[in-house]
Amino acid sequence: MDTTTPPQDRHSNANDSSSPQGDDLPGGNIDKVRDILFGGQMRDYERRFARLEERLVQETTDLKDEVRRRLNALEQFVKQEAESLDDRIRAEHDARMDATRELTEDARNVAKAFEKKTSHLDDTISRTQRELRQQILDLHQNMSDDLRQKIDDVVARLNRASADLRNDKTDRATLAALLTEMAMRLTNELSIPGLDKERNG
């Protein structure tokens, strides 16, 4: 910025400073002098301010555009992330629902298998109980028949012995020995297998 006063301005200033009437110039002349002295600088300042204002307006516009672009990009990114998160949440929910359905089906199958095994076990227990009752009844019947047979045999022997005694007129000592022997035989013959082992054990 050149602040050197033009030759004509220096000449004018010299004339103005040497003139005793310099302070009495009309207002129009003062404006002309001011324009001569500072007009170039003011126009330079005005041009600079205009360029600065244009630059500021341009940078402000560019900044607005950049902010708008960044906001749009951020909005798009947030939207994509939200959609991706929603997809992941939905996929995880579906996976959990599938796992829950599988667990429910497995539990239902286990319950059915357990119920089937329980029913089969009940049938087996009932059949075993019936077989055991039948075996007990058969054993009781066999023992009753065997006991009845043994009693009949003893009675028959006693009858034969009694007949022999009547025929042979055996004395009382012989009869007592015979009855004792029959009682011992009867006791031995009526022993139940397994019961004697428990008694002897």
Q: pTM of the full predicted structure?
A: 0.33
Separation between Cα atoms, residue 188 and residue 184, nearest integer Å: 6
Number of domains in the chain: 1
pLDDT value at position 67?
Answer: 93
The lowest-confidence range among 5-19, 36-50, 114-128, 129-143 is 5-19
Domain housing 112:
45-190
Q: Is residue 201 part of a domain?
A: no
Q: What is the DSSP string of 7-58?
A: HHHHHHHHHHHH-TTGGG--HHHHHHHHHHHHHHHHHHHHHHHHHHHHHHHH
**27: in domain:** no
> What gap in Å lies between CA 136 and CA 84, rounded to an integer?
76
Q: What is the mean pLDDT of the chain?
A: 76
Q: Is residue 91 part of a domain?
A: yes
For 85-110, write each residue's pLDDT tens digit: 989 999 999 998 999 988 998 998 99
Distance CA 74, CA 87 (A): 20
How does pLDDT run across 120-157, given as a tens digit for each residue? 888 889 889 999 989 998 888 888 888 888 888 888 88
Confidence of residue 178 (pLDDT cuts 50, 70, 90): confident
> Residue 201 corresponds to which amino acid?
G
52 within a domain of the structure (yes/no): yes
d(CA 84, CA 87): 5
Answer yes or no: is 20 within a domain.
no
Q: Give the pLDDT of residue 72.
A: 93
- Please write the tens of the pLDDT for every residue from 59-92: 999 999 999 999 999 999 999 999 999 899 999 9
Band of pLDDT at residue 12, cut at 50, 70 and 90 = very low
Q: Does pLDDT of 49 surpass 50?
A: yes
Residue 63 has, within 13 A of its CA and on its CB side, a CA count of 6
Residue 167 has pLDDT above 70, yes or no: no
Tokens of 163: 């007949």
Q: Which of 39, 31, 30, 29 is nearest to 3 (CA)?
A: 39
Residue 22 lies in a domain: no
Of 7-11, 126-130, 146-150, 191-195, minimum mean pLDDT range: 7-11
Q: Which two tokens stand for residue 59?
A: 């940078």
- Is residue 2 situated within a structural domain? no
Is position 7 within any domain? no
12, 36 contact by CB (below 8 A): yes
**What's the pLDDT score for residue 2?**
42
- Residues 26 and 110: their CA atoms lie apart, in Å, by 117
Q: Are 156 and 186 in contact (CB under 8 A)?
A: no
